[in-house]
Amino acid sequence: MDMELAGKAAVVTGASRGLGLAIVRALAAEGMRVVAAARTISPELKETGAIALTADLSTPDGPATLIRRAQEELGELDLLVNNVGGGDGGADRLGGLLGLADEQWLSDYELNFLSAVRATRAAMPGLLRRRGAVVTISSNGARLPHAGPMTYTTAKAALTAFGKALAEEFGPQGVRVNTISPGAVRTSLWESPDGYGAALAAALGLEHRQLLAGLPASTGMTTGRLVEPDEVAALVTWLASPHAASVSGADYVIDGGAIKTV
């Protein structure tokens, strides 16, 4: 199916690896002109053909600076993908409320929530002119806040609520806003030897590979496997396209059936 995105302009944050990299590849394959932002530009990102820009989106000025630079490269934007985030701080995120200092709360909210607020605020005037779209990557942890680091899941809950509020405010002005809430995705958060998954395995007395093998079953994923980044990327392209013209204010859960509630 032609997503009718050829020639349109997009910004993707957190683009150097994992979900962000898969999203950049999918949008570029549809013929979009893409600015891909990351703290570190990976070789894989360079190979996509996107315009790769370094940016620290956890800082107060980082998102607005990125949007300005993206507009200088591409002109008016048609799509903003708020993907940057992280909850893979390792063992320091496993202690629960009493083990989490203010600095950890602030850093996780800056990266997972306020980066999207600031980037969207900077991009919105242009998106209004282009009647564009915002797609924000949240997490099914927003609905299952006990299922991951508290600082991460509660920031994602705020992010999902932010998307709903944006859709209500800007939908009547022609900008569609939706969120995607993946479950456990095959990314470095789970697979990196120094990431959250490895730290969780150690805390549970398991080998890292044992944790990964049992993760789908332990989290209730009826598909029996982790979500692949390309699956999320395909949903992003559809939500960005005219085929989803009547979809706004939605939160798409893609978690292999882990969430059981209606």
Please identify every residue annotated as catalytic. Answer: 152
Specify the DSSP element, H or E, that contains 179: strand 176-182
d(CA 161, CA 151): 16
Instruction: Give the 3-state secondary structure of residue 193.
Output: coil
Q: Where are the alpha helices (DSSP H) in the chain?
A: 18-29, 43-46, 62-74, 102-109, 115-130, 150-170, 188-191, 196-204, 208-218, 229-240
Question: Could you say which DSSP state residue 111 is in?
Answer: I
DSSP 126-160: HHHHHT-EEEEE--GGGT-GGGS-HHHHHHHHHHH
Give the number of residues written for the chain.
262
Return the number of other C-beta atoms located less than 10 Å from residue 184's C-beta.
25
**Which residue's entry shows tokens 């979009």?**
32
